[in-house]
Amino acid sequence: GTQVTVEIHHEDTSPQLFKRHSLGKGSQRLRGHDNKGFQRAEAPRPPGAKDLHAYPWDKSSLKSMPVDLQQFEKLDAYALKVNVKNSVEELVKALLKQARTDLEKVRAIWMWICHHIEYDVVGYHNKSQLSSKPRDVLQMGKSICEGYAELFEHMCSLAGIQCKKLSGHAKGHGYKTGQTFTGDSDHAWNAVYLEGRWHLLDSTWGSGSVDDSFTKFTYRYNEFYFLTHPALFINNHFPDNSNWQLLKPTLTLKEFENNMLHNSNFYTLGLLATHPETPIIQTVNGKASVSVHCRPGTLFMFKLKGTDEHGLMTLKKHGMKLDIYPQKTGSHKLEIFAKPSKAEASDDVYKCVVEYVVECGSVDKDMRFPKDLHQPVGPSWFSERQGFLRPSHREPVLHTNDGRCSLTFTLGKDISVLTSLHGDGSSLAEDMGRRHVLQIHRGNQIELKVHLPHAGSFVLKIYSKKKSDPGNYDYVFNYLIRCLNTEVKWPAFPQSYSKWLQDYEILEPLSGLLPANRNVQFKLKMHGIAKVLVQAEDTHALTQNRGCWEGTCNTSGCREVFVLVHENANHSFYSHVLKYEVETQ
């Protein structure tokens, strides 16, 4: 379905024809050399079968040829220091002093342009005053994409390297998700011929970025746009001439418009794919789902209309899964951010890697989440790394009908755990939130028993620290716990004091609120103690039986019941370990 025009020339004339084209004005100069003694580049040949790369991307390399950036370190440093502004020829001569191969020559030119030419935001708004001639661009030290591409092409041709300026549509500044492209092309970039193949690069985007209001340019070097793999370059560059996609098969403009925009951060952070692959998502019954596939060890966050309240994100070993429940109908911008978990300080920020538009037709009011819910939700490789191994519940949400649930983990060495339960609104004060979760330790196993004070949605937050560290507890992860049963009304667990050791266990009574005027049975698992007393109106001693201390106590006439222990038979000193409340009459 493609129209092809074929011209046939006598074999002697065809190189000349192209030659004149590549030299432009003044083709009467010495053949093959210009008067300044540069070896002129051969006429660019159009791309052919051996230039093409398979589409979609095979997830192998970000570049279209093997490049060892460490080997460029010296050359890069040299190129940055070259300071020649009087003529393009002098500049190229200075840059080539340290470059031997064609790849090194292209690299030196690329590095110099990316760090010395800034984007002309004023000129962009007033194009009539603007010259894209290489000499003017060099003198001014700034230009728009057209000038970057022309300077690059001219410097390469002086260095004897085939290079072509390409133009087309780009998903660059001002691009809106899902928009169509009409009319003239709006961006320019280059193709260079190295080691027998054509390669793509964009020195405008390699040099930095412009702010949202398009009034300020910031130098921020971006390696991604140097010899980018064509299957990735097509993500945001669509050339007027489809042969210059260097792809097999080529994409249509419609496909380009509908494809997801993955920016350079997406690939630089080692992300591989997103699902869905279309940028506009419709909710189904008030819900939309997104997932990202990546190499292990990546952390994520998201914002829907600037907040992360209306979603449930879970971290997976190879990426993340996100369910979104917008609480208003209409169009919402969804941004997904990522960062490596073992980042250098300089990279320790979340960068936006992909954007969707979520179109919501109906709202699922039942999927409102508590304010205290922290993303991601549920256990993951990250909580494992913090020492919470073999979780009994791998899902982020726990549903309970009777208002009780129990979770177990195997704990790594030397870990002390802190937990708290958070409800919506002010239904749970912080100190009470801690008392609705009971920790039980058996060897390296920990069980967390949760008793909900009423129906609704709750967040169980889990913190930890090294036992040997004096410092604070660090937040690790959380679960969402849901209960629809309105009959549910569990009292808190008894309050424990510092002498209540981690491996003690309450068998009964588990409720921190005891009935009035009753005989209550006590059964506590404790070791290394001389004596245990339960103090109500009267004091009752518990007796030891197979590792447990047992006995009864009557609750009449008192508001509180304490459990005290006598650690050493020779001392008369007792320590409080537990406190129970008694129901009022």
Least Cα distance to 179 among 362, 355, 361 occurs for 355
Q: State whether the Cα torsion 88-91-97-103 is positive or negative.
A: negative
Q: Is 538 a catalytic residue?
A: no
Which helix (H) or strand (E) segment holds residue 158: the answer is helix 145-158
Least Cα distance to 62 among 230, 245, 250 occurs for 230
Peptide linkage before 509 cis (omega within 30 of 0):
yes
Q: Is 116 a catalytic residue?
A: no
Is 302 within 8 Å of 339 (Cβ atoms)? no
Pairing of strands 142-143, 118-119: parallel
State the catalytic residue, choosing from 115, 154, 187, 229: 187
State the catalytic residue, choosing from 114, 145, 156, 163: 145
Task: Please name the residue ranges forming H helices in 240-398.
Answer: 253-258, 264-268, 381-385
Pairing of strands 288-294, 319-324: antiparallel
User: How far is the C-alpha of 280 from the C-alpha of 258, rounded, in Å?
Assistant: 9
Backbone angles phi, psi at 136, to 5 degrees: -70, -40
State the catalytic residue, choosing from 51, 76, 120, 202: 202
Q: State whether the Cα torsion 223-224-228-229 is positive or negative.
A: positive
Rg of the chain over CA atoms, in angstroms? Answer: 35
Is 490 within 8 Å of 423 (Cβ atoms)? no
- The residues carrying an active-site annotation are 145, 187, 202
